[in-house]
Structure 1
Amino acid sequence: MGKDPLRDKQGLTEEEFLQKYDISIYERPSVTVDMLIFTVVDEEKENYRKLPEKSLKLLLVKRGVHPYIGQWALPGGFVTNDESLDEAALRELKTETNIDDVYMEQLYTWGDVKRDPRTRVISCSYMALIDSRALEVKAGDDAVDARWFDARYSVLEEKKTILEKGFSFERVIKITLSNDQAKLEATIKIIEKYSGKAVTVERDVMVSNGVSFDHAKMIQYAIERLRNKIEYTDIAFNLMPELFTLSELQQVYEVTLGRELLSSAFRRKIKDMVIETNQFTKDAGHRPAKLFRFNPNWRYL
C-alpha cells in the first residue's frame, strides 16, 4: 500500500493546495532581458602600411517610445510567460541583430525598486560577443535606430578607507560611448565593503547623459566582466574571424583590456589556443603574415 500524501496545516495535499492557490496574493513584477552586444572592428586606416587600429564597440538602440524616448538603451525586451530567461535573450538577440549563433552568457540580475518608471521591473542582463562582419544590425519594435558605439572605460578615482571591521574600496568610473551621430557619457560610483569574509557592492549612477534607465550600470559591469574573463578564458576568440594573424589577435586583447601587452609574453600566453595554418595575408603595403585559427581543444593540451 502506498503512503498517504503529506498534508499542510490546513489539511491539504500538494495537489489540493495548487488547485486552490491564489496567484494574486503576491504582486508579480515584470521581467526583462537586456543585451550587451560587443564587437571589435577596424577603424579607418590613415597609413595603408600599418595595421588598422581596432576599437571595442557596443550596440545600442534609440528608443522610439516612452519612457526615455529619444535616448539610447541596450537592446532588450520583456520575458513572456512561456519562455525561459535564456530563450527570451536568444529571441531578443535574433530580433535586434538578426543572428543567433554567437557566444552569450548571463551576467547579472538588476532589481532596484525604482529602476524603471513604468512599474516594478527586474532585468537580467546578458553579454554577447560577435564578429560584426557576419552581422546585419536592425532596430527592434520599440526602437527607431540601432548603432554601434565606441565604448571607452576610464577610472577617474580610487580610494580605500579603513573601517572598524574591515575596509571599503571606492571607484569612480567614466563610460564614454560615441560614434559619428552621438556622444553619451555616464559616471558610476562603485563602493565595495569588506568585513571579514563578507563583501557587499553598491553601484550608483552619478551622471548619465543620453543613456536610459540604469543601463550605464550594466555597461560598466559588463566591460569589467569582459576584461576579467579575457585574462583567463578563450572568450576573445568570439570576436575574431575564422582566420587571423597574431598581431590582430593581440590588438583585440589590448583594446578590450584597455592597455598594451608585451608581444613575447602575449604569444606565450595564447600559443596553445591557436593553430597555425599554411595561409598568409595578402594585404598590400606590408609583408604577408601567417594566419592562425582558434584551437577549441587547447584546454586539454
Structure 2
Amino acid sequence: MKDYDSSIYEKMSVAVDLLVFTIENNRLKCLVVEREEEPFAGMVALPGVFVGIDETLEEATIRGIKEETGLEGIYFEQLYTFGAVKRDPRMRIISVSYMALVPFEKLKFKAGARSTDAFLIDVDELLAEDSDKKGIRNDFAFDHKDILTYARQRLKNKVIYSKVAFHLVPKEFTLPELQKVYEILLGRRLYKANFRKKIGPYIEETDKMTSGEAHRPSRLYRIQD
C-alpha cells in the first residue's frame, strides 16, 4: 500500500440525518430544527451532523442528536442512504438517515448550537397534498422533506411486520391504547377483533387494571419477552 495515492480521487463528505418520531395528541410528529447556519439559514431541517474521520456512523448519530437537540439515550435504526449529486450546495455530501420512535413524555429537547429552534412538526399534515393551503410550515432545507416522506412510508410498512409500534406505548398499556398507536402509524382505522388477533402473539396480560378513570377499568398488557 506504500505506493497507493489517495489524492487521485475526489473527496466527499458523509453526514447523518436523524428522524425522531413521536405521538402527541393522537398525531404523528417528527422533531425538526430551524437552521442558524448557511446554507438554508432560517429553514426547517432534520437534526444532523457530519461524520468525523474517526467516528462510526452510530457514534455520529449519538453525538448528532445530543448536539442538535439535547436528547440522549435514543435508540436509532438505520433507514436509508441519500446520495443525489446536488443534494447539498456546499459539496458532494452523502447522508445516511437514521430513525427512532420515542414516547412523547420522554422527549425533553432544546435547540442546539447550530439551531435557533427545535420543535415537533405534524408529519401527515405536512405531507398532505393540500399542506400549502393549510399554512403548514414547508420550508425544508436540502432534501430533508424527501427523507421524511421516505421515512413515513417505511413506518407504514414496518408496523405491519414488526413490533415497532411498541416503542410508542408505556411498558404496560391497554389494548385500546396500543390499537390507537397502530392506527396512527398506519394512517387508517382497524377492526378491533382483527387487530387483537394479530397482536395476540406479541403481548401478555398483567394482573393490573387501570384505575381512577370515569369509565370501567381496563386490563393492562405488556410485550412478551
TM-score, length of structure 2 as denominator length: 0.92
Q: Measure, in 2, the Cα distance between the counterparts of 1:153 and 1:124.
A: 25
Alignment counterpart, residue 170 of structure 2, candidates 232, 241, 254: 241
Coordinate RMSD, CA, aligned: 2.0
Paired letter, 1:278 = D
Describe the shift of the 1:68–1:251 C-alpha distance in structure 2 as closer, same or farther (beyond 3 A).
Answer: same
TM-score, length of structure 1 as denominator length: 0.69
Q: Measure, in 1, the Cα distance between the counterparts of 2:187 and 2:125.
A: 8
Describe the shift of the 1:175–1:278 C-alpha distance in structure 2 as closer, same or farther (beyond 3 A).
Answer: farther
Describe the shift of the 1:121–1:154 C-alpha distance in structure 2 as closer, same or farther (beyond 3 A).
Answer: closer
List gaps (5 residues or longer) in structure 1.
1-17, 44-53, 156-172, 185-208, 297-301
Q: Which residue of structure 2 aligns with residue 277 of structure 1?
A: 206
Q: SS of the residue aligned with 1:228?
A: helix
Q: Measure, in 1, the Cα distance between the counterparts of 2:45 and 2:201.
A: 38
Higher relative contact order (CA 8 A, sep 6+): 2
List gaps (5 residues or longer) in structure 2.
none
Alignment counterpart, residue 255 of structure 1, candidates 180, 184, 199: 184
Q: SS of the residue aligned with 2:62?
A: helix
Q: Measure, in 1, the Cα distance between the counterparts of 2:7 and 2:130.
A: 41
Q: Which residue of structure 1 aligns with residue 72 of structure 2?
A: 99
Q: SS of the residue aligned with 1:152?
A: helix
Percent of paired sites with the same residue? 45
1:183 aligns with 2:136: yes
Q: Measure, in 1, the Cα distance between the counterparts of 2:212 and 2:119.
A: 28
Does structure 1 conserve the Cα–Cα contact (< 8 Å) formed by 2:74 and 2:100?
Answer: no
Paired letter, 1:253 = Y
Q: Which has the higher helix share?
A: 2
1:20 aligns with 2:3: yes
Q: How does 1:66-215 map to 2 (within 5 A)?
A: 66-95=38-67, 96-102=69-75, 104-152=76-124, 174=129, 176=131, 183-184=136-137, 209-215=138-144
From the CA coordinates, give the structure whose radius of gyration is larger: 1
Runs of 4 or more, structure 1, over 3 Å off, are 173-177
Q: What is the CA distance between 1:239 and its match in structure 2?
A: 1.3
Does structure 1 conserve the Cα–Cα contact (< 8 Å) formed by 2:126 and 2:136?
Answer: no
Does structure 2 conserve the Cα–Cα contact (< 8 Å) formed by 1:30 and 1:122?
Answer: yes
Does structure 2 conserve the Cα–Cα contact (< 8 Å) formed by 1:61 and 1:74?
Answer: yes
Alignment counterpart, residue 230 of structure 1, candidates 159, 180, 186: 159
Does structure 2 conserve the Cα–Cα contact (< 8 Å) formed by 1:152 and 1:175?
Answer: no
Describe the shift of the 1:245–1:176 C-alpha distance in structure 2 as closer, same or farther (beyond 3 A).
Answer: farther
Q: SS of the residue aligned with 2:124?
A: strand
More deviation, 230-239/135-144: 135-144
Equivalences, count: 222
Q: Measure, in 1, the Cα distance between the counterparts of 2:144 and 2:171.
A: 32
Q: Which residue of structure 2 aligns with residue 268 of structure 1?
A: 197
